[in-house]
A and B are shown apart, each in its own frame.
Chain A
Amino acid sequence: MNNEDYGYDYDYLFKIVLIGDSGVGKSNLLSRFTTNEFNMESKSTIGVEFATRTIEVEGKKIKAQIWDTAGQERYRAITSAYYRGAVGALIVYDISKSSSYENCNHWLTELRENADENVAVGLIGNKSDLAHLRAVPTDEAKNFAQENQLLFTETSALNSENVETAFRELITAIYQMVSKHQVDLNEYGSNAGQAPKGPTISLTPAPNEKTKKTNNCC
């Protein structure tokens, strides 16, 4: 059976954005998570890149569609378009570069301004392999995360440390939020086939095989 046309190989499709200063390692985090690759000579991302990976959470297949954005984008009109429909976000900084940590506040503000209010957010201190060059103390970042209700992980895209965990935690958090909301939606009796309005617009559960597909057809 061809999944493209007749069915889906996943139960949920989550849009997640990677944000943070240029050069903190967003693209390599993404490639480490989706294809287990690392590119020493990776260049600045132009515009936006996509990658997906399907993982299982509580028996459900969740396809994470991750948007890797250019850290140096200056136009708010574009960044806001990136955030549109995102249910999760990872704000990435470089533990050896304090300015990239200091900017996290700015990224968080921009995210809150543009994205869904329920967006799940994780703070990632990347390049943990550069411990000898550390400029951002773990505790300080941890406190910042707690204050802002962010997940927090220190990772290394280079040696894979905690990459999987960071993404998994975020996706699990989104899933829990979505499943809770879906109950809410069902209680309100909304038609699942219509593009949902309001904050749930982006929490897009994929139709579950054919039974649900019939629902979608109006």
Chain B
Amino acid sequence: MEDLLKVTNIVVGIAQNLNTQDYLSFQQVNKSVYQHHLCGSKDEKMWCQRLVAMELKSNRNDVPNDVKLECYDALTIFDHVKAFTPSTAKNTFIRFYKCFQGFTNKLYYNDLANFFPERYSDPLTQAIILQNISRYNKCCINDFTFYRRLQDNLRILQELFITTILKEMEKNFESRNFETVSKFIKVLLVCHEENTAVDFFKSKNDFMSEVQLPASIFNPDTNELDQRILKGALNTLTNFLNEKIKLVDKLFGDSYPVIINYSESLIADNLSEYFNSQLNDKKDSETDITRIDSMPVLYTSLIDLFVANLTESQNGGQNYAKVVTEFINLYFEPKIVSYLDVALQKFNEDTAAKFLKFLDDTKIRQKEHNEQIYKSLRDKVSNQQLINEKNDFLTSFTKMFKISNSTKTESKEQLKLAYDLNLMTSNLMSIESLVSLDLCYKVVEQCRNCIERMCTFLAIDNIIDTVKSKCQQAFKILIFQLSENHLKPGFTKAIEILQEYNPNEIKNLQIELEGLDSQVEPLVKFTELINTGDIVLQMTSIFYKNELIQKHIIDKNKDFLNDIVQTKKNFETMLDDYVAEGLNTGINKLMDEVLFVFSTLQLPDDFNPDPKTLRKREIKPSKAAMKNVELLYNHCFLLTGATDKGTIDVFQQEVGERFFNEIVKNIKKNLISADGAIFLICDLNFYYDFIANKLKQKSIVPLFAGLKAVGQLYLVSSKDSKELGKMICDVGRFQGIFTQEEIYELVQRRTDWVRVRRDVEKVIYGLGVSDCTIL
């Protein structure tokens, strides 16, 4: 056994696990132990370890220490002695030993009565000494049983101490002796009893028992937010918290941020609970939807009326208001997110209902109108007015269709036809009411409001992405509703009316009333619709730029593949398709009209005049030419400003090309004499002038230049029939527009064709067909 103590490692190992007193005893076990193992540097090391355990710093260099060591006691020694050198370690430790060993001994024997000498009667001093004792005790933490006994007893002592303090505090708080309370709070904080301090504060400042908030901030009938009541409630809240802020500053100063903790509990437990119960009335879901709609106002009011009016808090620090805002954001987030959902759903449903109502209203109006037409016409029939009074349009109409009006059945047929035609005209009148710009504008406004309200919550970092995505969804809903529930049905109906339109029928019916109209009415209306569609499109584009891009809901650079851009493009494509389809139909109708004009106004002697009247005739465009150019003029520029230049160009070029074809057909229908040629040339010049100088569509100008050259075929005198043949072969002359076959076909419209044919064919074929004889 004795041999064990000869081994340095064993001795040092033992020594390291001993408390101070035991270590001193162990040094004295025998000379050998002391001299060989526990003196000099090895001893120094032991003391160093103790001091380090007490959180003192070990310095290699000597620290000049002039202060009189006797001045230090258990209260102050840790403030003054913070470092040591190995050589002074033992002496330094002795100083601490002197201060604390008395307390430690008492603790060890649980001798707690009169623990503190009289000079340490102040609770704060006692608190600090208790903390210092605990720190000193660490010097023998290696003797764990010993150390734990000390600490356990110290804890019991401290608990007794805290209980006493709390009792005193409560007494003083009741008597509003806040200065004293503040002192006790400092004691608690020194004892690391922050939670006890906070709990004490909370228990003494209970929101529920101090404040009464209004039973409801909503109008019970409309479920709309009553701003006045809300303002009052927020005012109460603000006053309450401001009072607490001041109290906390008085009690805690800036020593422990209790106000943060207190505010969080207030917001989490009281505020959010109160407003949640206000929003969820549990009466029915509709009420809840109406109420939650007030979320943006509620949130803004919380920030503007509550947070903004909080007094500065020394305890909460400079960022106190920001912290409160963040708590509000955090605890109201679930309600806000559900608001975003509800708002979108509401916008979608509202808009759909609006457009549906519009469709229904239009249907009802149309039906009423139709019934009115029928009734007034039927009255006329039954009164024999239709027949006897020779109603203007019906008699003309009767003439047109050669219906004798002698029998009842026939008059019924007339009635049916008149009704149908009247229906058509009234449909034309209402075509623009198929798409209501006013309604579109309202819906766009509603979307703007919806997004603006949702953007209230862009201030909340946590849900920025959610808010942005909801705003994007609102835009998508807008586009969907505009296209699916309004523009689509509108355009479909408009195109239907356009397709059903028969200009001749309408004209015949109205011919005596208004004379010949130079407009294809449904096409004019359709272009108005295109214009409306374009305005709606532009509204959505402006909306996209102003609401989504400018408010950074969409990043133009990052989100170009975003489906919202796709939605926007699809909308444009849909409109373009309708425009194309409608214009195509419209051009057909316009050409029907052109054909109608050629058939009715192009007179046989226009290009084949009686030589007797020839000398009286001025050279100017024929009525048919003027009417048709007027017709084209009235329709070609309707689209200007209504849609993009590309569409307008395509439209005008198509009209020009189709018109060209109608002119060629018209030439083939007429006979042209050499004297009449100049009138045809004049018409063709007139057409050319319109295309080249008014329509200004360069690509189709050659067609009309070709027509001018065709006109000259008829000018040539029959005496020059051979040169006529040469001209027909000179294909380059006709701008490459006509083949020789076509020219040959056209030249046959000469009144003297029979006479010139032989010579012409000789030039073309080498010999004329008329030269052939069957042998």
Spell out A's residues near B (CB within 8 Å).
8, 13, 46-50, 52, 63, 65, 75-78, 80-82, 84, 193-195, 204, 206-207, 216, 218
> B709 near A47 (CB under 8 angstroms)?
yes
- On chain A, the residues within 8 Å of B555 by CB distance are none
A50-B685, A75-B726, A194-B612 known, 6 other contacts, Cβ within 8 Å: A47-B685, A48-B685, A65-B619, A75-B716, A75-B723, A76-B723
Please give the distance in Å from B13's CB to the nearest CB on chain A.
114
Give the Cβ gap from A19 to chain B, nearest Cβ, in Å. 16
Give the docked Cα–Cα distance between A78 and B677 (Å): 11
Q: Does B228 contact A (CB under 8 A)?
A: no
- How many angstroms from the CA of A206 to the CA of B674 in the assembled complex? 21
| CB-based contact B708/A80 at 8 Å | no
Q: Which residues of A contact B682 (CB under 8 A)?
A: 50
Residues A81 and B611 in contact, CB atoms below 8 Å apart: no
Q: Does chain A have a CB within 8 A of B80? A: no
Contact A46 B708, beta carbon cutoff 8 Å:
yes
- Whether B716 and A47, one on each chain, are in contact in the complex, defined by CB atoms closer than 8 angstroms, is no
Select which of B615, B681, B717, B723 is within 8 A of A47 by beta carbon: B681
Contact of B716 among A78, A193, A195 (CB under 8 A): A78
Question: Is A52 a contact partner of B615 (Cβ separation < 8 A)?
Answer: no
A–B complex contacts, Cβ < 8 Å, 20 sampled: A13-B618, A46-B705, A46-B708, A46-B709, A47-B681, A47-B711, A48-B681, A48-B685, A50-B619, A50-B682, A52-B619, A63-B618, A75-B723, A78-B712, A80-B717, A81-B677, A81-B712, A81-B715, A195-B611, A206-B616
Task: Name the distance in Å between B379's Cβ and chain A's nearest Cβ.
Answer: 41
Given the interface pairs A77-B717, A81-B715, A81-B717, the reply to whether A204 lies near B727 with Cβ below 8 Å is no
Report how far A135 CA is from B677 CA in the complex, Å. Answer: 39
CB neighbours of B614 from chain A (8 A): 195
> Separation in Å of the B616 CB from the closest CB of chain A?
7
B712 and A52 contact, CB distance less than 8 A: no
Residues of A within 8 A of B726 (CB): 75
B678, B705, B711: residue with the most chain A Cβ atoms closer than 10 Å = B678
Least CB distance, B405 to chain A, in whole angstroms: 34
Contacts of A194 in B (CB 8 A): 612
Which B residues between 680 and 713 are near A, CB-CB below 8 angstroms?
681-682, 685, 688, 705, 708-709, 711-712
Measured CB to CB, the residues of B under 8 A from A are 611-612, 614-616, 618-619, 674, 677-678, 681-682, 685, 688, 705, 708-709, 711-712, 715-717, 720, 723-724, 726-727
The 5 A-B pairs with the shortest beta carbon distances in the complex, nearest first, are: A77-B720, A77-B723, A81-B715, A47-B708, A77-B716
Contacts of B674 in A (CB 8 A): 81
CB distance from B682 to the nearest CB of A (A): 6
* Min CB gap B683→A, angstroms: 11
Given the interface pairs A47-B681, A65-B618, the reply to whether A84 lies near B712 with Cβ below 8 Å is no
* Contact status B705-A204, CB under 8 Å: no
Q: In the complex, what residues of A have CB within 8 A of residue B678's CB?
A: 48
- Complex interface: chain A residues within 8 A of B688 (CB): 46
CA distance A216 to B610 in the complex (A): 14
**Nearest B residue to A193, CB-CB:** B612
Q: Assess whether A195 is in contact with B616, with CB atoms less than 8 Å apart.
A: no
Contact A207-B685, Cβ < 8 Å, known A47-B708, A78-B716, A84-B717? no
> How many whole Å from B135's CB to the nearest CB in chain A?
103
Per the bound structure, the CA–CA distance linking A52 and B618 in Å amounts to: 10
Query: How far is the CB of A194 from the nearest CB of chain B, in Å?
Result: 8
Does B724 contact A77, Cβ atoms closer than 8 Å? yes
CA of A47 to CA of B681, assembled, Å: 9
Complex: A72 Cα to B619 Cα, angstroms: 23
A195 contact from B612, B677, B681, Cβ within 8 A: B612
Say yes or no: A49 contacts B616, CB within 8 Å.
Answer: no
Instruction: Tell me the minimal C-beta distance from A14 to chain B in angstroms.
Output: 12
Contact A80 B720 (CB under 8 A): yes
Q: Which residues of B contact A65 (CB under 8 A)?
A: 618-619
Chain B residues within an 8 Å CB radius of A78: 712, 715-716, 727
> Is the Cβ of A49 less than 8 Å from the Cβ of B716?
no
Bound CA–CA A50/B681 (angstroms): 10
Question: Which residue of chain B lies nearest to A76 when distances are taken between CB atoms in the complex?
Answer: B723
A10 and B682 alpha carbons, distance in the complex (Å): 21
Set of chain B residues within 8 Å of A50, measured between Cβ atoms? 619, 682, 685
* Bound-state Cα–Cα, A200 to B739, Å: 40
Q: Are B616 and A77 in contact (CB under 8 A)?
A: no
A210: shortest Cβ distance to chain B, in Å?
A: 13
- The smallest C-beta distance from A154 to any residue of chain B, in angstroms, reads 29
**B615 and A195 contact, CB distance less than 8 A:** yes
Contacts of A81 in B (CB 8 A): 674, 677, 712, 715-717
Q: How far is the CB of B764 from chain A (nearest CB, A)?
A: 15
- Residues of chain B with a CB closer than 8 A to A46's CB: 688, 705, 708-709
Chain A residues, CB < 8 A from B727: 75, 77-78
The residue in chain A whose Cβ has the minimal distance to the Cβ of B615 is: A204
In the complex, residue of chain A having the shortest beta-carbon distance to the beta carbon of B684 = A47
B-chain residues with CB within 8 Å of residue A204 when the two chains form the complex: 615
- In angstroms, how far is the closest chain B Cβ from the Cβ of A132? 33
Chain B residues contacting A207 (CB-CB under 8 Å) are: 616
Q: Kindly state the separation between the CA atoms of A81 and B721 in the bound complex, as whole angstroms.
A: 13
CA distance A80 to B720 in the complex (A): 10
Nearest A-chain residue to B724, judged by Cβ:
A77
> A207–B677 Cα gap in the complex (Å)?
23
Instruction: Write the chain B residue with the least CB distance to A218.
Output: B612
A49 to B684, CA, bound (A): 10
B455 to chain A, nearest CB (A): 55
Min CB distance A75 to B, Å, is 6
Q: A207 CA to B685 CA in the complex, in Å?
A: 28
Among residues of A, the one whose C-beta sits closest to the C-beta of B713 is: A78
Q: Shortest Cβ distance from A84 into chain B, in angstroms? A: 7
Q: Do the beta carbons of B611 and A49 come within 8 Å of each other? A: no
Q: Which chain B residues border A76 with CB–CB below 8 Å?
A: 720, 723
Most chain-A CB neighbours within 10 Å: which of B615, B682, B712, B727?
B615
Bound: A206/B614 CA distance, A? 11
Instruction: A45 to B615: give the CA distance in the assembly, Å.
Output: 26
B711 contact set on A, CB distance < 8 A: 47
Q: How far is the CB of B751 from chain A (nearest CB, A)?
A: 15
Which residues does chain A contribute within 8 Å of B724, judged by CB atoms? 77
Min CB gap B746→A, angstroms: 15
B427 to chain A, nearest CB (A): 37
In the assembled complex, the CB of A27 is this many whole angstroms from the nearest CB of chain B, namely 12
B723 to chain A: closest residue by CB = A77
- A13–B709 Cα gap in the complex (Å)? 26
- In whole angstroms, what is the CA distance A193 to B674 when docked? 21
Which of A50, A82, A216 is the most central at the interface, judged by chain B CB atoms within 10 Å of its CB? A50
Contact A216 B616 (CB under 8 A): yes
Contacts of A77 in B (CB 8 A): 716-717, 720, 723-724, 727
User: Nearest A residue to B704 by beta-carbon distance?
Assistant: A46
CB-based nearest A residue for B688: A46
Closest beta carbon of chain A to B139's beta carbon, Å: 109
Per the bound structure, the CA–CA distance linking A195 and B612 in Å amounts to 7
Rounded to whole angstroms, the CA-CA distance of A72 and B250 in the bound complex is 109
Kindly state the separation between the CA atoms of A194 and B688 in the bound complex, as whole angstroms. Answer: 35
- Complex CA gap A77/B674 in Å reads 12
Please give, as numbers and ranges, the residues of chain B lying within 8 Å of A218 by CB-CB distance.
612
A18 → B minimal CB distance (Å): 15
Residues of A within 8 A of B681 (CB): 47-48
* Chain A proximity of B526: nearest CB distance (Å): 35
CA distance A76 to B63 in the complex (A): 130
Residue of A nearest to B711 (CB): A47
Residue on A with the closest CB to B677?
A81
A63: nearest chain-B partner, CB-CB: B618
What residues of chain A lie closer than 8 Å to B611, measured between beta carbons?
A: 195
Q: Which residue of B lies closest to A84 (CB)?
A: B717
Distance to closest chain A CB from B678 (angstroms): 8
- The closest CB in chain B to the CB of A65 belongs to B619
Known: A75-B726, A76-B723, A81-B716. A49 touches B685 (CB 8 A): yes
A75 to B711, CA, bound (A): 14
A94 to B640, CA, bound (A): 42
Q: How far is A169 from B711 in the complex, measured between Cα atoms in Å?
A: 32
Q: How far is the CB of A13 from chain B (nearest CB, A)?
A: 7
